Chains A and B, each alone.
Chain A
Amino acid sequence: MALTDIAAAPAVRRPGLTTRLRRLVPWSVAFGMVWLGATLFVAVFADWLRPYSITQMDLMARLVPPLTPGHLLGTDELGRDVLSRLIQSVQVSFVIAFGATILSAVFGTTLGFLAARFRGLAEHIVIMLADFQAALPFLIMSLAVLAFFGSSMVLLVALMGFYGWERYARIARGLAISAGAQGYAAAVVQLGGTPARVYLKHILPNVASTLIVSMTLTFPEIILMESGLSFLGLGVQPPETSLGNMIGFGREYLTTAPWIMLAPAVVISLTTLSISLVGDWLRDKLDPTIR
């Protein structure tokens, strides 16, 4: 009797795991997390998940609609499997976006710290560069650079690595200046710490959470920027494929084979939507000062 009471009582009072989870995470955020987890999984294991090679052509099965046996998402104008290309594209777009986000965070934070450390002329130059970056829409600047240099994968990642650096620079500069005024940084200086030690080991960990939040803002924007450029035919070049590049080429078959373009379009939209939803939620949790 006592045993059943003990077993039954908590079950009534305590809400179930799903209810507790739903209170913790709204359904839209949960969806975002699941979708991001799935795309991340696809990006990492793309080489094992792909049913076909991305360049393997099946000329007998060109423009086959989705749900055809063997080609779940159909094929394109050369009989290449859309699902395989989609999986590869997710990987390429994610690799570029990850690389570029990290580059931009490191570059921006370094410049911001340099501005805070040296002030004066260095600070003016950094602010002027940031103004310049803000004065030119990034897409248009990238188009000009790609026009002049021609498109290559290295250049594309390097270029995307400039996206949003000014945001990190501004944040890092502001936070480092205010951290420098606090006791702990001065204490390390008094103890004989080198500037590099003060900035990397003491100030950086203290400002990291804000910088990470900015990275969740930059990441989807870089995905959109890269896919925009690839869509215009100036980003990732064939035979390599990316989400934007697939949409760009699929556009020519909009009337006869819309699935070529719709599959990557859905993936891009859901991915950036998910990052936005999860990022907003994380921001509210981690950093209530930013809205």
Chain B
Amino acid sequence: MFRFVLIRFGRAFVTIIAVMTFAFVVLRLSGDPAAVIMGPDAPIEAVNAFRAAWGLDQPVWVQYVAYIQAIFTGDFGVSMRGQSPALDLVVERIPATLELTLPALLLQLAIGIPAGIYAALHRDSAIDRGVILGAVMGFTIPSFVMGLVLVLVFAVTLGWLPSGGDATWQHAILPVIAMSVGGIGILARFSRSAMIEVMGQPYIRTASAKGVTWGSVVRGHALPNAAVPIVTIVGFMVGSLLAGAVVVETIFSWPGIGRLLIVSVTNRDLAVVQCILLLVAAVMVVSNLVVDLLYGWLDPRLRGHAAH
């Protein structure tokens, strides 16, 4: 078990380094930040002073080492426009993004999984067909279309809910719905097929044949086995939630990380973009790590396999 955890941590670490290198390479390949920030008409002395101030006049590998060192000491650079540390700018936006992503994730889990499992257990019924159709529509309608239609219906036409901002809890309702619909569809569909797969296994037939009641077969035999693939897909969905936050926060003028990313990308505020990139990668790596560790807990076979 210790070895299993150690290998997972090692892979997570390598991935983080890879993302950092990616950010660095893209950053340096993309042209001269000094020229972009200062504008084409800036005097050459001012541009040179800017380069020296940001270390842009050093050889690339010196910059790379300094960059990696700085990140590991918690220094993500200074926002080139705001003049405040990039990390502070990003950290103060985290709660706003969590206010949307956590309820959205909970909604996805609370609706998607039961709907999928119910559909699988009542295969080919009207409800099953309804769940499939709803699920396919849920994940094929892009979140920005969903968000705008929600605004059009509930804010503009009916006037029930506000269309943007974050003043009250009512402001969060539409963004959370827009963010969760796609994931509910994906989870419902995936849980359904995972459950159908499990229900077709010989051990389910064996359990039924020796007289275990249907409810106990589902609870004791089918659900634990369907849990492993479902946990996998939930791990992947954390990433799409973060991507969804970018779009949805933009539509609803929600002051979270996603909006900060778009504003920083538009302004080419490289330090902030980089900081968000690393934060997202860290969240993804941690969630994959949690999924991997959950496997070990859910499925004793994997635990034994990984240790050898």
Residues of A within 8 A of B (CB): 28, 128, 131-132, 134-141, 143-149, 220, 224, 227-228, 231-234, 244, 247, 251, 254-255, 258, 261-262, 265, 268-269, 272-273, 276-277, 280, 291
Q: Is B50 an interface residue (CB 8 A)?
A: no
10 contacts between A and B (CB under 8 A): A134-B288, A136-B22, A144-B265, A147-B265, A147-B266, A149-B31, A247-B148, A251-B148, A261-B148, A276-B139
| Chain B 56-101 interface residues, beta-carbon cutoff 8 Å to A | none
Chain B residues within 8 Å of A128, by CB: 14, 18
A291 touches B148 (CB 8 A): no
Give B12-32 as 1s and 0s: 1 = Cβ < 8 Å from A's Cβ atoms: 001100110011001101110
Of B26, B240, B285, most A-chain CB atoms within 10 Å: B26
CB < 8 Å neighbour of B243 from A139, A147, A265, A280: A139
B144 close to chain A: CB less than 8 A: yes
| A contact residues around B240 at 8 Å (CB) | 137
B193: interface (CB < 8 Å): yes
Q: Which of B178-214 contact A (CB under 8 A)?
A: 193, 197
| Alpha-carbon gap, A224 to B148, bound state (A) | 15
Return the chain B residue nearest A149 by Cβ.
B30
Contact among B11, B133, B137, B280 for A140, CB-based, below 8 A: B280
Contact A227 B26, CB 8 Å, known A135-B15, A137-B242: no
> Which B residues touch A224, using CB under 8 A?
142
- Residues in chain B near residue A244, CB distance under 8 A: 144
Give chain B nearest CB distance to A135 CB in angstroms: 5
The smallest beta-carbon distance between A268 and chain B, in angstroms, is: 6
In the complex, chain A residues whose CB is within 8 Å of the CB of B143: 228
* B194, closest chain A residue (CB): A291
B28 to A: closest C-beta gap in Å:
9
CB within 8 Å for A136 and B277 given contacts A131-B11, A273-B137 = yes
Looking at the assembled complex, report how far the CB atom of A29 sits from the nearest CB atom of chain B, in whole angstroms. 11
Considering only residues 137-167 of chain B, those with a C-beta below 8 Å from chain A are 137, 139-145, 148-149, 151-152, 156
Q: A131 to B284, alpha carbons, bound, how many Å?
A: 11
Do A137 and B243 have beta carbons less than 8 Å apart? Answer: yes
- In the complex, A154 Cα to B243 Cα: how many Å? 23
Q: How far is the CB of B106 from chain A (nearest CB, A)?
A: 20
> Which residues of chain B come closer than 8 Å to A141, judged between CB atoms?
22, 277
Q: Which of B140, B268, B280 has the most CB of A within 10 A?
A: B140
Asked if B30 and A148 sit within 8 Å, CB to CB, the answer is yes
The answer for the CA separation of A180 and B74 in the assembled complex, in Å, is 48
Complex Cα spacing A247 to B250, Å = 13
Cα distance A139–B244 in the bound complex, in angstroms: 9
- Nearest Cβ in chain A — how far from B126, in angstroms? 15
A262 to B137, CA, bound (A): 17
- Provided the pairs A247-B145, A265-B148, A273-B137 are in contact, do residues A291 and B193 lie with their beta carbons within 8 angstroms? yes
Contacting pair B265 A135 (CB below 8 A): no
A148 and B27 within 8 A (CB)? yes
CB of B223, distance to nearest CB on chain A (Å): 19
**Contact A135–B281 (Cβ < 8 Å):** yes
Residues of A within 8 A of B31 (CB): 148-149
Whether A136 pairs with B19 at a CB distance below 8 angstroms is yes
CB distance from A169 to the nearest CB of B (A): 16
B261 at the interface (CB under 8 A from A): yes
A137, B22: Cα distance in complex, Å: 14
Top 8 nearest A-B pairs (CB, nearest first) are: A148-B30, A147-B265, A139-B243, A137-B243, A137-B239, A272-B140, A273-B140, A265-B145
Task: List chain A residues, Cβ under 8 A from B193.
Answer: 291
Closest B residue to A265 by beta carbon equals B145
Q: A277: which B residues are within 8 A, CB to CB?
A: 136
In the bound complex, residues from chain A placing their C-beta under 8 Å from that of B141 are 269, 272-273
Residues of B within 8 A of A261 (CB): 148
Query: Given contacts A137-B239, A139-B246, A276-B140, is CB(A265)–CB(B265) below 8 Å?
Result: no
Q: Distance in Å from the Cβ of A123 to the closest Cβ of chain B?
A: 15
> Within 8 Å of chain A (Cβ to Cβ): is B176?
no
Query: Contact flags (1/0) for B261-287 with A, using CB distance below 8 Å?
Result: 110111010100110110011001100
Q: Are A251 and B251 in contact (CB under 8 A)?
A: yes
Instruction: Determine the distance from Cα of A192 to Cα of B208 in the docked complex, in whole angstroms.
Output: 56
The answer to whether B145 touches A268, judged by C-beta atoms less than 8 angstroms apart, is yes
**A274 closest partner in B (C-beta):** B140
**B222 partner residues in chain A, CB cutoff 8 A:** none
Cβ A145 vs Cβ B148 within 8 A: no
- In the complex the two chains form, what is the Cα distance from A28 to B132 in whole Å? 12
Q: A135-B281, A231-B247, A265-B148 known; A147 and B156 CB under 8 Å?
A: no
Q: In the complex, what's the smallest C-beta–C-beta distance from B11 to chain A, in angstroms?
A: 7
